[in-house]
Structures are given as structure tokens and as C-alpha cells.
Amino acid sequence: MEHMPPMLAHLNELAAGLFVVVALGIVATRQVRACLKFFVLQSFFLASSALLLGLAASSAHLMAVAAINVGAKVVLLPWLLRRLLKDEVYTRREITQVVSVPISLIIALGLIVAAYFFTLPWLDAVSATGACRINVPVGLTGLFLGAYTLANRREALPQLLGLLAMENGAFFAGVAIAPDLPLIAELALAFDILVVAFVVGVLTRAVHEHTGTTVVGALDELREGGGE
């Protein structure tokens, strides 16, 4: 990990940069379907980073992680969501957002910078070199941007994607800083992602059947002093 060939290092940086850009895409895009595509791309870049680090360290383990990621998030997850959420949820619709797109993007840029300065002391503490210096700040960025998506979106599916993007961020840091987690843990994590998608999908369908909409941000009946 410490001495990556420059080509792999640059490719990993590229994966990191594109990872951030698609995270911004998830923040900003107006269509539910595009949001899902961005998420799939993000997972793909996560897998590429795992693969590149695996190549650099000649670690079959990391390559397996890449394969698991592709299988679970690039192939199975969109299929699962497509099965669960039929066209009515999926239609090309502009998503309502709390904060407008350009302001969201500015905030997102601030979060990127913040993530970098948050992680700087961590990196210095272990005098990290190589991939860690890239993957950790980018991972935290992914986490932040996912959380922002979650807060800013009012539709069900984009909120779910924000959640999964947060986990992607954690994984992105993970492939560099925890490269040899037991494979069973990796499998469990991938399984977990699918369960998340399944459960939230079922819940979304229930919400849609019950209220005729998937704008979960409009659900605000329960609160103190309020009530029916």
C-alpha cells in the first residue's frame, strides 16, 4: 500500500475524484432515475478503487471486495429496486428539494473542504502515505455528501440512495485503511446493503400505497404537542 506504482496511484486518485463528482451528482440531480444511475456509478468507482489498491498490494482479498461490491451494488441493488419499486415511483420526475440546486452545490463544496481538514490530523497522526491520503478524506466526503442528500431530499428513493452513499463513503475509506477485514465481514456488509434496499423498498411501497406519494418529507404528523 505504501508504494503504489504511479499509474495505479493516479488511477486511484481518478476514481476518488470521480467518486466525489458523482456524489455531487446525487446531491444535485433532479431526476430519481439519474440519482440511481449516479449511485451505481459511485459504487463502481468504489469497486475500482478497491481493485486498484488490490492490484497495487497484489491482494486477492481486495479484488474479492471489488467483486463483491460490483455484484451487490452495481448489479443486484438496481435490479432489486426495479423489482420493488414499480414505474410510478420511478417515473422521470423532478425531485423536490429543500434547498435549491446551486446553493446545495456550494454547501457540498464546503463539505468537501471540511472533510479534508477533518481528516488531516488523522492522516498526520499515523504519517499516512499513498492511498490513505486520498481515500480517507474522500471517504469522509462521501459520508458528508450522503448525509446532506438525506437531509435535503424529500423523496423516498433519493433518501435511500443518500443513505447508501454514506455507506459507500465509509467503505471508500475502508478499502484503504482496513484492507484486510475478514471476508465474511465484507460479505455480511454487502448482504446488509441488500437488506437495507429491500426493507426500505418495501417501506417505500407501503408509504406509496398508503399515501399515494413517495414524498416522505411530507410525513410530519408525529410530534410533541401536535397530534391529530
Partner 1 sequence: MILVAIISIPIVAAVFSAFSRDNRTPGILTLASATAVLGLSIRTVSMLLSNSGHVVVGVPHWLAVDALSALILLLVALVTFTASIFSIGYMDFEKSGGVRRYHVNFNLFVFSMLAVPLIQEPNLVWVAVELTTLFSVLLVGFAGTRGALEAAWKYVVLTLMGAAIALLGFMVLYWAAHHAGASRYSWGGLAVLSPKMPPVLLKAAFVLILVGFGAKIGLVPLHTWLPDAHSQAPTPVCALLSGVETTVVLYVILRLVPVVAPVQSIHADTWMAVFGLVSVGVAAFLLLAVRDYKRLFAFSTVEHMGIILVAVGLGGTAARESALIQALAHSVTKSFCFYAAGSVLLLAGTTKIASIKGLMKRSPVAGAALLFGGLAIAGAPPFAVFLGEFSIIRTGIAKGEYLVTGLLVLFIAIAFFAIMNHVSRMVFGAADDAEKALEAPRPLPNICVAALLLAVVPVALFGVYIPEPLGNLITLAAAALGHGG
Partner 2 sequence: MTNRVLFNILQALVVLCFSPLVVGILNRLKEIVQSKRGPSVFQPYRDLLKLFSKDEVVPEESTWIFRVTPYISFVAPIFVALLIPVLTDYPLFWAFMADMVGAGFVLALAGFFATLAAVDTGNPYGPMGASRTRMVGFLAEPIFLLVFFTVSFVADSTIPFIVQQKWVHPISNFFAPSHILLLIAFLMLILAEKGRLPVDNPSGHFELAMIDESKDLEYSGPSAALMKWGGWMKFMVLMIVFLNVLLTPWGLASTLDWSAVLLAIPLVLLKVLGFVIFLVLIESSLAKLRLFRISEFMSAAFVIAVVAMLTSAFSW
Site membership for partner 2, residue 138 (CB under 8 A): yes
Site membership for partner 1, residue 163 (CB under 8 A): yes
Site membership for partner 1, residue 116 (CB under 8 A): no
116: partner contacted, choices partner 2, partner 1, none (Cβ within 5-8 A by kind): partner 2
Site membership for partner 1, residue 20 (CB under 8 A): no
Site membership for partner 2, residue 122 (CB under 8 A): no
No. of H helices and E strands in the chain?
Answer: 9, 0
**DSSP characters over 90-133:** HSS-BPPBSS-HHHHHHHHHHHHHHHHHHHHHHHHHTT--THHH
34: partner contacted, choices partner 1, partner 2, none (Cβ within 5-8 A by kind): none
Q: What count of Cα atoms within 13 Å lies in the side-chain half-sphere of residue 45?
A: 27
What residue has cell string 440519482? 35
**Minimum distance from CB of 202 to partner 1 (Å)?**
7
Among 75, 113, 202, 219, binds partner 2 (CB under 8 A): 113
- In the complex with partner 1, which residue's Cβ is closer, 104 or 159? 159
Which of 99, 219, 204 is closest to 160 using CA atoms? 204
Site membership for partner 2, residue 16 (CB under 8 A): yes
